[in-house]
Amino acid sequence: MKTRKVGLGHVGAHVAYSLAVQGIADELVLVDSNEKKVESECQDLRDSVAYLPHRVTVNIGTYEDLGDCDVIVNSIGKIEILRANQDRTDEMKFTVPAVNSYVGRVKASGFDGVVVNITNPCDVVTQQLAKGLGLPRGRVFGTGTGLDTSRLLSALARQTGIDHKSITAYMLGEHGNQQFAAWSNVSFRGKSLEEWAKTDERFRFDRDALQKESIRGGWVTFSGKYCTEYGIATTAARMVSIVLHDEKQIMPASAELCGEYGEKDVFVGVPCVIGKNGVEEVVELSLNEREKEELKARLHMLKGVETCKKCGAEIKKGTKFCQWCGEPVEQKIKNTGAEIVSYGAPVLPGAMFLLSYYNGNIPIIGLPGCVMYAKRTIFDLALPRIMADDEISVEELAALGEGGLCLNCPVCTFPNCGFGK
């Protein structure tokens, strides 16, 4: 059983060691663009082999050597990026181009095994690898919320005193800040959390606080040593073991949805049956209505879409208006409590002008891009009245449909012209 490690940072090196010390792989081939780093890690692992309980061969390889391996663990990354802002999506600016630089070489090698991805943002990069390699569905999956679920199990064990292995619980969603615990599916020794809570105060804990603790666990680790190692290494090694031994075990992973949970064309952390072919089945939990909405919201974030607040239609992020009902999508000004007078005006330049009033008399306006380059716009018509505290009504804006076209005269004589009159 041959396993290749692509990328050898803190996490990659620990995964390689975990695979070796547990005897999961007979042969490890290390691949990294940093030749000095990969050589040092290879030597260090070789130095440990004599005292391991299993025989393990450790070598250095290239991307072209990946064709005959059983499993690739992708763990390229640049952990320093997270020091400024604890958001795994920030790593995308490095990891996505990095993966693009070698995924074609891996495909050209003839690789036909299973890929376990660790690289963040895990769900995004896993989907990127799946598309680039073109392998059958399930052959490429990510650690996803596998580690987050381990953190949840650990927190539940400390809270209740029940051993981790006697607890069933899952974190769902993005491997990042946008994930949640499926409390309706939590059980201890085969009995639901709700049943335990009826008779035992240990189970009447603050669920939101415990969920937050599980999500923040990685950052607690990161804050002290600027990396995470043991937890993610053990998670990835366990997944490799399940694949190599075809265990058909249920474990949370970043997997492709093809109709499950009512979604498709997105990778997200959900419970899966893992075997020799990777993710062989996505397990659909019976979620309550609140959990269904939470999962939907997180999936929309990963897909780059959102839900229209008026009609409920799915629309792409960045869209100004819902294509189904015409409702303005950008609600940030409205969320302040301001009353929107109008989003749009029959004026050129300036058709996308937004006017609102906060607390009845404080104007909040949204200016279209034309104000940065056009000589005269809707802003020139509205600003004098705004500065004079003369409230503008939607009817007055509508009346600008007559005279609201700036003719862009060679010699501008505004306001001594017909613009806005």
Question: Which residues, in sequence order, are bridge partners of residue 114?
Answer: 71
Angle between helices 10-21 and 35-49 (to 10 degrees): 20
Classify burial at 97, counting beta carbons within 10 Å of its beta carbon; exposed 0-12, middle 13-18, buried 19 or more: exposed
Q: Cβ contacts of residue 32 below 8 Å, gap of 6+?
A: 6, 7, 8, 12, 38, 41
CA-CA-CA-CA torsion sign (358, 361, 362, 363): positive
Q: Are strands 114-117 and 187-188 parallel, antiparallel or unpaired?
A: unpaired
Strands (E), 283-377: 305-307, 314-316, 339-343, 354-358, 362-366
Tell me the DSSP string of 128-164.
Answer: HHHHHH-PPTTSEEE-TTHHHHHHHHHHHHHHH---G
CB atoms within 10 A of CB 384: 10
Task: Scan for tokens 């999956």, then name that residue.
Answer: 141
Q: Are strands 57-60 and 71-74 parallel, antiparallel or unpaired?
A: unpaired
Catalytic site positions: 175
Both tokens of residue 115? 């890929």
CA-CA-CA-CA torsion sign (324, 329, 334, 336): positive
Question: Which residues, in sequence order, are bridge partners of residue 263?
Answer: none
What is the rounded distance in angstroms from the CA atom of residue 321 to the CA atom of residue 376?
26
Contact at 8 Å (CB) between 347 and 365?
Answer: no
419 three-class SS = coil
What is the rounded distance in angstroms from the CA atom of residue 256 to the CA atom of residue 262?
12
What is the rounded distance in angstroms from the CA atom of residue 189 to the CA atom of residue 161?
12
Q: Cβ contacts of residue 407 below 8 Å, gap of 6+?
A: 417, 418, 419
> Of the candidates 376, 374, 356, 375, which has an alpha carbon nearest to the alpha carbon of residue 365?
356
Q: What is the DSSP letter of 154?
A: H
Q: Are strands 278-282 and 264-275 parallel, antiparallel or unpaired?
A: antiparallel
